Structure 1
Amino acid sequence: MTDSGHWLSLAAALAIGAVIGLERGWQRREVAEGGRVAGLRTFILIAFAGGLAGVLAEQTGRLLVGVALAALATLLVIGYRRRSQDEADRGITTEIAALVTFLLGVMTTAATPLLATAGGVITATVLGFKPRLHALLRRVDGVEMRAILQLALITAVILPLLPDQGYGPWQALNPRTLWTMVVLISAIGFVGHFAVRVTGPRRGILLTGLFAGLASSTALTLTLSRAGRSQRAYQPLFAAAVVMASTTMFPRMLVLVSAIQPAMLAGLITPVALMTGVGALATAVLAWRSRDGGRGASQPPMQRPFELATALRFALLLAAVMVAGEALRRYAGDAGVYALSLVSGLTDVDAITLSLSGMVGDGLDTTVAERGVVMAALANTLVKLGLALAIARGRMGALVSMGLGAVIAAGALWTGSTFWL
């Protein structure tokens, strides 16, 4: 590393120490001078020492970093023992923060000063949120704690281990793709549960519908349709959230197209605006009709924060659809762009949108690609309508049918007009 690089690394180390030391010093500002194990100046020096150790280690070897870290840990242990004799506080947060600060200082010399600086800001933020984090822990019950751990398990442990390649008939089954849907469905139910707890049933469900639509409106439809079967008082509210989530899919398609093939935007703006407008209007009507939703209900909606069994059943259904879709695509012929769009849209809109956008650059007619994207969106919307009818049934199925049916009619009208005009 050059001298200028060393100066940048040491400056980043000083900044890290200042940010973390500022937070620690402010937290213990009432303690008399000399009564703190580490304050603002000490944290700056600890980070600076880490940066210096990293610089010197380039010439002397990494053993120096280990020796310096051990020396710092020894000093912190001595300081902790003295403090614990004078105070009732037995926490070691400051001592751990000091070790983290030193390691972040070392990290600035490993050609990653920006990442180390970000780590310093995150550390200071976590330290500063102590009251809110403790309040959150007091509000979380045993069921919710287990749900947090289970969601972390299926996301951070199982998902990365699954192979990202095709298996089974025609290599149509991708384990990672299928498990991603399991994670999405579980996460949507998890977010919905806490959104209801924090903001109340009405706002919580609608917020869940809005944000879940950015990830997977199909997963949300399944989750709320299942909930609607047992919580009929909330069916109008669930229906509004489903239509809202489905509507957010259309603007998302424009974002994908603009990233791959901006030339398609001019032709897609009209159908997307038409379907989004109809969906937004239907959402507003359903939300207004659900203003008294939940009256007479014995419990709030989405009581279960984690339902793995439901997610697994949907993954099995998705696997069956993926195999059937690949079979249809093969026997119908790859030249059938419209058939391919309809079949692909049954499971995913993003993939076919990106594929058709890329095919335009390879010679596919722009109008054909635009029709294919809209047809995929219509097929996907029809699947969500079918899920609501088959699973939720009753009033929710009827309300979702009216809302999404209007969206499908608008999109089909535009698609039909492009063939005849």
Structure 2
Amino acid sequence: MDTLTLFQRFGLAIAIGAIVGMERHWRERDEQEGQRTAGLRTFTLAGLLGGTAGLLEQAISGAEAAGGLTVAGIFLVFSLVFAAFQYRESIASENYSVTSVIAAMSTFALGALAVLGSQSLAAAGGVALVSILASREVLHGFMRTLTWNELRSAILFLAMTFIVLPLIPARAIGPFGGISPADIWMLVILLAGISFCGYVAVKVFGTSRGELLAGAVGGLISSTGVTITNSRRAKAGDDPRPLVAGTLAANAVSCAKVTVFCLALAAPIAWRIGPALVTTALVMAGFSLFFFQRSQDTHAGNDARNPFELAAVLKMALLLVAIAFLARAATLWFGDAGLLVVAALSGLADVDAIAVTIAGMQNTIDVELAARAFGVAVIANTIAKAAYATIVGRGAFSGHFLLASSAALAAGLTVFVLTPAFSV
């Protein structure tokens, strides 16, 4: 390692200590001189000490086979000395927080990492450490409002993602290309994630604004998932108007997203179908804002409902997988001649996949046929979501959604018919 690199790494170790020390010193800025165990200077020195320990490790053991004994020994002595001084301060002030001890140990370790390991990881760790330390009030306030349902759902969601998913086989099973158990579970995680994010948005921003924001973000992932989730919640008794606003926002974003996909992958097809898709999106967005303005914006407070019900999420995921399986089977049955049929069947579950497929066929099929297939997929997807809203949601939610969806489709079809057709 050349001298310039060593100076850069050593400087990073000192910088990590300085930024942590700034936060610790600022938090205890009202203390008299000598009444705090560690501030800006001490934490800067802790980062410097960690970097120095790393340099000594390299000098003694060699960069190729560093045993870590030097760093470990200095780290142990530093931690014991710092903890002893912090203990005396805690007794005097009757404040028994161990945060500063952990922060000092982390600062030392990150300083050593900056010299011995990855500079990027060390810098990222320093930023994360300062962010956590500076977020004390926010985190404490969050914990005071956290309910058992929210904690349980968060733990369950993490377990589904990081424990269960890696254990599920990804190999497809069955005919017509088969079905991957991992893909099914990923869909379960997607639906649960949309529901959980919507719950958090409502709790933070209030009912109307939260649902609108959650729907718009969910539309980037799966407007079908948002529709199913909100339909189930409407049936359970939640206010239908903000749910409709969020669902229509998701569908508007989905139409805009598909237009961007098509424009990026197949510009000629986009110029033919794009005006109709944009019109559909604008009408849905208009209805979304209308229902948003008519809804009462209240905060959820300590709402007792679960962020997501796993049983309901599993049922909906299996339903979407079954529809996608039928669409894939129809593709093999009908072949290229049945593009419109395949587009309609694929649209029952999702638009993104068939949109990318059609855009990839731009050099082998006529633009008008591709645009019609595109439109059929969007129409089928909108009708399917209207059916989900009727079957799962019912009541005012399904009525409002059917009205807005019908108006949006009618406007989009009108624009498509009036737009001159062309071929390349």
TM-score (ref. length: structure 1): 0.87
Give the aligned partner of residue 236 of structure 1.
Answer: 241
Give the aligned partner of residue 42 of structure 1.
Answer: 42
Give the aligned partner of residue 6 of structure 2.
Answer: 6
Instruction: From the superposition, tell whether residues 292 and 104 of structure 1 become closer, same or farther in structure 2 (CA, over 3 Å).
Output: closer
Question: Matched residues in 2 for 1:154 and 1:379: separation?
Answer: 31
CA contact 2:209–2:297 (8 Å) conserved in 1: no
Q: CA deviation at 1:119?
A: 2.0
Per mean C-alpha deviation after superposition, the further-off stretch among 61-70 and 319-328 is 61-70
Give the aligned partner of residue 88 of structure 2.
Answer: 82
Q: CA deviation at 1:414?
A: 5.0
Question: Matched residues in 1 for 2:353 and 2:43: separation?
Answer: 49
Question: Matched residues in 2 for 1:104 and 1:167: separation?
Answer: 46
Per mean C-alpha deviation after superposition, the further-off stretch among 142-151 and 91-100 is 142-151
1:271 paired with 2:276, answer yes
* Mapping for residues 320-331 of structure 1, pairs under 5 Å: 320-331=322-333
CA-to-aligned-CA distance 1:33-75 (integer Å, 9 cap, x gap): 3332321112122222323333444452141332232222222
Q: Secondary structure at the match of 2:77?
A: helix
The one-letter amino acid of 2:237's match is Q
Of 152, 160, 185, which residue of structure 1 is paired with 2:158?
152
CA-to-aligned-CA distance 1:338-357 (integer Å, 9 cap, x gap): 33333332222233333344
Question: Matched residues in 2 for 1:53 and 1:262: separation?
Answer: 59
Question: Matched residues in 2 for 1:78 and 1:353: separation?
Answer: 64
1:18 paired with 2:13, answer no
CA-to-aligned-CA distance 1:197-256 (integer Å, 9 cap, x gap): 333322222222222222222111111111111317x22332222111111102222443
CA contact 1:231–1:301 (8 Å) conserved in 2: no
Instruction: From the superposition, tell whether residues 153 and 293 of structure 1 become closer, same or farther in structure 2 (CA, over 3 Å).
Output: same
Question: Matched residues in 2 for 1:211 and 1:329: separation?
Answer: 31
CA contact 1:213–1:244 (8 Å) conserved in 2: yes
Give the aligned partner of residue 400 of structure 2.
Answer: 399
TM-score (ref. length: structure 2): 0.87
CA contact 1:46–1:98 (8 Å) conserved in 2: yes
Q: CA deviation at 1:132?
A: 1.6
Instruction: From the superposition, tell whether residues 178 and 419 of structure 1 become closer, same or farther in structure 2 (CA, over 3 Å).
Output: farther
1:28 paired with 2:32, answer no
Question: Matched residues in 2 for 1:419 and 1:328: separation?
Answer: 31
Give the aligned partner of residue 390 of structure 1.
Answer: 391
Q: Secondary structure at the match of 2:15?
A: helix
Q: CA deviation at 1:264?
A: 5.3
Give the aligned partner of residue 110 of structure 2.
Answer: 104
* Mapping for residues 117-132 of structure 1, pairs under 5 Å: 117-132=123-138
* Mapping for residues 331-410 of structure 1, pairs under 5 Å: 331-334=333-336, 336-360=338-362, 363=364, 368-410=369-411
Instruction: From the superposition, tell whether residues 293 and 366 of structure 1 become closer, same or farther in structure 2 (CA, over 3 Å).
Output: same
Question: Matched residues in 2 for 1:165 and 1:334: separation?
Answer: 27
Question: Matched residues in 1 for 2:167 and 2:12: separation?
Answer: 36
CA-to-aligned-CA distance 1:136-155 (integer Å, 9 cap, x gap): 11111222222222222222
CA contact 2:207–2:296 (8 Å) conserved in 1: no
The one-letter amino acid of 1:40's match is L
Of 291, 294, 304, which residue of structure 1 is paired with 2:295?
291
Q: Secondary structure at the match of 2:31?
A: coil
Q: CA deviation at 1:308?
A: 0.9
* Mapping for residues 46-61 of structure 1, pairs under 5 Å: 46-59=46-59, 60=61, 61=66
Of 249, 256, 260, which residue of structure 1 is paired with 2:261?
256
Q: Secondary structure at the match of 2:220?
A: coil
> Where in structure 2 are there 5+ consecutive unaligned residues?
none
CA contact 1:191–1:208 (8 Å) conserved in 2: yes
Per mean C-alpha deviation after superposition, the further-off stretch among 128-137 and 363-372 is 363-372
Of 134, 140, 153, which residue of structure 2 is paired with 1:134?
140
Q: CA deviation at 1:301?
A: 8.1
Of 194, 198, 207, which residue of structure 2 is paired with 1:201?
207
Question: Matched residues in 2 for 1:68 and 1:128: separation?
Answer: 28
CA-to-aligned-CA distance 1:388-408 (integer Å, 9 cap, x gap): 011112222121111112223
Q: CA deviation at 1:160?
A: 3.6
Instruction: State the superposition RMSD in angstroms.
Output: 2.9
Per mean C-alpha deviation after superposition, the further-off stretch among 93-102 and 405-414 is 405-414
CA contact 1:349–1:377 (8 Å) conserved in 2: yes
Per mean C-alpha deviation after superposition, the further-off stretch among 376-385 and 129-138 is 376-385
Q: Secondary structure at the match of 2:333?
A: helix
Q: Secondary structure at the match of 2:34?
A: coil
Question: Matched residues in 1 for 2:379 and 2:2: separation?
Answer: 58
The one-letter amino acid of 2:201's match is A
1:223 paired with 2:229, answer yes
Question: Matched residues in 1 for 2:56 and 2:337: separation?
Answer: 64
CA contact 2:145–2:302 (8 Å) conserved in 1: no
